[in-house]
Each structure stands twice: as C-alpha cells, then as structure tokens.
Amino acid sequence: MQARNGEPVSIYIENPRIIDGDTLETLDKKRVRLSGIDAPDDDGKGNVPKIAAGLYLEELVKQNGGMDCTSDFQDEKLTIEPICNTRRTSWGRSNMSCRFRSNGASVSATMVRHGYAVDYRQHSGLAYARFMKDAANERRGLWGVDYEAMRNLAIERGQLPNKCK
C-alpha cells in the first residue's frame, strides 16, 4: 500500500485478520506490519508467545474500534536516535504506523508497553525502548511468561546492521 508518487498512504482498518503480534491482514488481503516493533514468531514449542501476542493485538483492535494507519512513522517524538530503516515494505507487507480509533494511542507503543512486543531499533529509533524496559522489569505480558525468550528477542532487535552505524 503505497501511493504511486511515494506519498504516504493512510487507511482505516476495522476487522483485520491477525497473523501475530506485529502483522495483520486487511479485508482485501493486504498485509500490514506494525512499524517499529517485533513480536515473537514461531518458537518451535507450540508457538504460545506468538499466539498470545496475536490474541492480545486482536482484543485491543476490537476494544478500540479499529485502527487508523499511515505509512509515515507517527511516533517520531519518542525517538532517541535517527531511524535507520525507513522502507515502507518488508517481506510483502506494508510497514505502517497505527493508532487506535477510540483514543489515538499508538498500537506499537501499546504492544510494547504491555509486554507483547519489543522495540525494533532500526525501525523505531528506540522510540519504544523505555516502554520495553519497564515491561521487562515489571514482567508484564510475555515478559512474565518467558522472560528469556523476550530478552533474546529484545537483544536481537536492539542491534543495528552495519549500514546503520
């Protein structure tokens, strides 16, 4: 989902099919990845963290009347460093920054704050790092279920590729 002229695209997503804690599919089968975060993927042990993160995102979307999303990163005021990777697509998905329709809260920040995703540094500029630290310290969400797995994901996603250094 990108305008032909490279301008940002904005859409309203009401009842998406949730793939996991950072990816969803619109009714017209377009995949959207929430910008700046990463949620657990297949763990080879039943995928409990992946499923839990997806269910949590699904419940949040339902409770908050859907999401307004744009291809522009909306949480720039939270960044600590420049965002390295500003691509608008990844793995066939549109990278989008979304806010809940009911209250305007950042979906990405909410997922990290509640412990169901981690800050993805090269895509966020550390915008959600402090929320992640608080969630880890307080064992919120998946941090309370499998601290080591979340810690490993946070370490991995906290690294910058050489092109960003």
**Residue 80 resides in a domain:** yes
Give residue-wise pLDDT tens across range 49-80. 999 999 999 999 999 999 999 998 899 889 99
Q: For the chain, give the mean pLDDT.
A: 91
What is the CATH number for 140?
2.40.50.90
**Confidence band, pLDDT 50/70/90 cuts, at residue 156:** very high
Query: Is-contact 80 36, C-beta < 8 A?
Result: no
Residue 149, C-beta contacts closer than 8 angstroms, at least 6 positions apart:
40, 43, 49, 142
Pairwise CA distance, residues 19 & 48, whole Å: 13
Report residue 125's pLDDT band, with 50, 70 and 90 as the boundaries.
very high
Q: pLDDT value at position 111?
A: 99
155/5: higher pLDDT: 155
- Which pLDDT score is estimated for 45? 74
Mean pLDDT, range 67-94, rounded to an integer: 86
* Residue with the larger pLDDT of the pair 102 and 92: 102
Would the pLDDT of 5 be above 70? no
* 2 in a structural domain: no
Q: Distance between CA 153 and CA 115 in Å, rounded? A: 12
- Number of domains forming the structure of the chain: 1
Structural domain of 122 = 10-158
Q: What pLDDT does residue 2 have?
A: 52
**Which pLDDT value is given to residue 1?**
54
User: Phi, psi (5° rounding) for residue 151?
Assistant: -60, -45
Mean pLDDT score, 25-53: 90
3-state secondary structure of 34: strand
Considering the domain boundaries, does residue 119 fall inside one? yes
